[in-house]
Amino acid sequence: MEYAENILGTIGNTPLVKINTLAKELPCLVLAKYETFNPGNSIKDRMALKMIEDAEADGRLQPGGTIIEGTSGNTGMGLALAAIVKGYKCIFVLADKQSKEKCDILRAVGAEVVVCPTAVEPEDPRSYYSVSKRLAKETPNSWYVNQYDNPSNTKAHYESTGPEIWKQTDGKITHFVVGVGTGGTISGVGKYLKEQNPNVKVWGVDTYGSVFKKYHETGIFDEKEIYPYVTEGIGEDILPKNVDFSIIDGFTKVTDKDGAVYTQRLAKEEGMFLGNSAGSAIKGVLQLKEHFTKDDVVVVLFHDHGSRYIGKMFNDDWMREKGYLE
């Protein structure tokens, strides 16, 4: 009989799927690493489990403890699933720009959810960074995950996502393209792929309002680059320790509008019902067209599922309000 001992045994080994319609103008083969097949419907299940296991191993997370994290929703879901199996409580802090569905889903799996304003500085006591740190100090027997600076985040992708992509492409991958938020995915996967073949190019997809692209190109952290944006899950107004800029060959920035429009196009033209960052990622691939040749194998990673964006990118009234649809 074939079965997993619990839901955590189903994390990873997600498929690679060819992009057909949206990639037809490109000379190369474009394959999507389709992470919604994880049980929490996102790539974050991988690093959530790894961060918990490492914290258990060195005693930061004690039996019956409370897991506290600031999340845009997906890491929270991964942590919540592991917490249910392992017997922990969860408190998650989200910024108010995240979709209502994300908050509802986290509550549905038993987590306590605290919502904070988006349009404040990271150091502001109301920011989701500050609130999650404060709650961790105030809550007895708690562990603050800090996915941005927690090295287990990158390690999870170095140990699982990277080797899977290498094996699935039979070592033929030439380019890896992925949206960058905490930096764990691009840094872990990128490090593994470049160790196998130093010629593999690693591209980050950034958003307008985020500091990554300019910092990578100039070494300057430019606060004038920072302003509120709609795109969820990618871009930052801080420099997480998990972003290893030495592994990244370049960034391309995608607008909020393009990210939203291409999220709809993936669903309607590829049958791929995915989250907001997938729209940004495929548009990023299209923007990098001049870097690809006919022999290239480009892997783009799709983080999460469309069910988290029903009220936003999949709601035409919302899309019209934002000026994204005619």
Q: Could you tell me the residue ranges of all domains in the chain?
A: 7-37+160-321, 44-144
Q: Average pLDDT over the chain, rounded to whole?
A: 96
Active-site entry in 18, 33, 44, 294: 44
Active site residue 312: no
User: CA 35, 174, 294, 302: dihedral to nearest 10 degrees?
Assistant: 20
pLDDT confidence tier of residue 100, bands split at 50, 70 and 90: confident
Banded pLDDT at 292 (limits 50, 70, 90): very high
Q: What does the block give as tokens for 3? A: 């079965």
Instruction: Output the CA angle 285-317-103, nearest 5 degrees.
Output: 75
Contact 187, 50 (CB under 8 A): no
Give the confidence band of 129 by pLDDT, cuts at 50, 70, 90: confident
Mean pLDDT confidence for 75-80: 96
Q: Which residues contact 315 (CB under 8 A, 6 or more apart)?
A: none
Q: Class assignment of domain 44-144?
A: alpha beta
Residue 97 in this model has a pLDDT that exceeds 90: no
Beta partners for 116?
95
| Contact between 111 and 90 (Cβ < 8 Å) | yes
Give the distance from CA 318 to its chain's centroid: 23
- Calculate what percentage of the chain has a pLDDT beyond 90: 92
Tens digits of per-residue pLDDT, 222-261? 999 999 999 999 999 999 999 999 999 999 999 999 999 9
CATH architecture of residue range(s) 7-37+160-321: 3-Layer(aba) Sandwich (3.40)
Length of the chain: 326
- Alpha carbon of 190 to those of 42, 182, 219: distances in Å? 19, 14, 20
In this prediction, residue 99 has a pLDDT band, given cuts at 50, 70 and 90, of confident
Task: Give the separation between CA 89 and CA 67, rounded to whole angstroms.
Answer: 6
Looking at the predicted structure, is the pLDDT value of residue 121 above 90?
A: no
CB 182 within 8 A of CB 209: no
Q: What is the pLDDT of residue 161?
A: 98
- Decide whether 7-37+160-321 matches 44-144 in CATH topology: yes
pLDDT tens digits for range 158-201 = 999 999 999 999 999 999 999 999 999 999 999 999 999 999 99
